[in-house]
Structure 1
Amino acid sequence: KAWIQRTGAIGIMAKAGRYGGTYAHRDIAYHFGMWISPRFQLLLVKEYQRLKADEQKQLSWSAKRELSKINYRIHTDAIKVNLIPAEVTREQAAMKYADEADVLNIAMFGMTAKQWREQNPDKKGNIRDYASINELICLSNMENLNAVFINDGMAQSERLIKLNQIAIQQMKILEDTGGRNLLK
């Protein structure tokens, strides 16, 4: 305690009496532990690296998910302009948007959002929240292409077939990167 007062130590506190002891800020405790035990230092560094890698994976996935959401705006605008008459109600428009979203879901995942929810009642969110990074990249591309197809007046059945072919082709390419992580 006297040393702490003489040196003006910051981050270390000493308490006397019952439940007393010397307490240090966690950074100081980590350095002390690493000085005492090289094994502790190795474990601490490895755990830190694992946590940073997990954080990077999550950030990467979140960025891809946000990209998918932005491209979905392009997609919904094409639907609004080309497929939804001005006379329909909000509910009817919502059904059309959902119908077009399911075109993408069927082309990519082979099922509608409702079918996925029925098969996965324990999972929160939607089918896209559980998609891999490669699936999200492919979906993002498909949203843009579907917007172009809608603007060109292509029928929904034709778009579904074309989008499914594109999904298969793009997923083969994205999955066949030989273990390389092209996007981080």
Structure 2
Amino acid sequence: MAKYKNEDDPRFVIQNWLRNRNTLEFIGLWEIINNPNFNRVQFDTFRNESGLNRFTMTPTKWVDSTNAIGIISKSGRYGGTYAHSDIALEFASWISAEFKLYLMQDYKRLKLDENSKLSLTWNLHREISKINYKIHTDAKKIFNRRIN
């Protein structure tokens, strides 16, 4: 994905993304939720330094310093930086406003589909209850007539 933004040197794209305070807060929160061995003390240090001109961050520094599991960085011929899908989507949203917009629209579409399916189920249960109520009250009327 970083090559999409800078074909010549994609590592700088990732490093710039990691320097961003919002990025660090996002991936730090992801690690807190998903990684019991995450080094929160070092994370707090990075978060406090983020935004300063002297602050630099690389995937390797992040992983080594915080025991992060959401990002993997490998060097060598088949190396690269890889991330959990949650983090990759956040990175893609940062790279491309168009992608972010499509992601939001697709999310809204899926939620509408989900709600309409739930709505159908709810309406079905409501109709069945209505029918059962009528059957129940009619049966009670017939029973009361026979007793009298």
TM-score (norm 1): 0.38
Q: Flag the structure with more relative contact order, 1 or 2, with Cα contacts below 8 A and sequence separation at least 6.
A: 1
TM-score (norm 2): 0.46
